[in-house]
Amino acid sequence: EYTVGLSDSEDRKTILSFAGLKSTISPSTLVSRIAKISKSSPCCLVVGLIYLERLKILYPSFNVTLRSFVRLFVTSSMIAAKFFDDFYCGIQTWADIGGIKHHELKKLE
């Protein structure tokens, strides 16, 4: 939460597709919500964060803000679950978890 909050105060670029409305959910609450509702393995949450780290390495000027974190983390965790878990919930469930419209999440994926 601290890192994402710091990024909000910096004037750096974010990928516009992921820059949604300011989220009412904190990063820690989102992680708990994903774990509880999606029933993904804990490694998927870690891999989701690793994907975000890789994104920052590939695009150093990229900025993860509170506005973009929910969309980025839901999308990266969903992709990790599809790759690593034998059973995973559908895209509509992931969209509900993040408060994102189904068709938007499909584009983000």
Question: pLDDT (tens digit, 9 = 90+) per residue, 22-60?
Answer: 566 788 888 999 999 999 899 999 999 999 999 889 988
pLDDT at 50: 94
95 and 89 Cβ atoms separated by less than 8 Å: no
Q: Which domains does the chain have, with CATH numbers?
A: 2-108 (1.10.472.10)
At how many degrees (to 10) do helices 42-58 and 27-38 cross? 130
Query: What is the structure's pLDDT at 61?
Result: 82
pTM of the model: 0.75
Residue 13 pairs in a beta bridge with 62
pLDDT at 15 over 50: no
C-beta separation of 34 from 45 below 8 A = yes
Strand (E) or helix (H) holding 35: helix 27-38
Which value, to the nearest 10 degrees, does the dihedral of the CA atoms of residues 23, 25, 29, 31 take?
Answer: -30
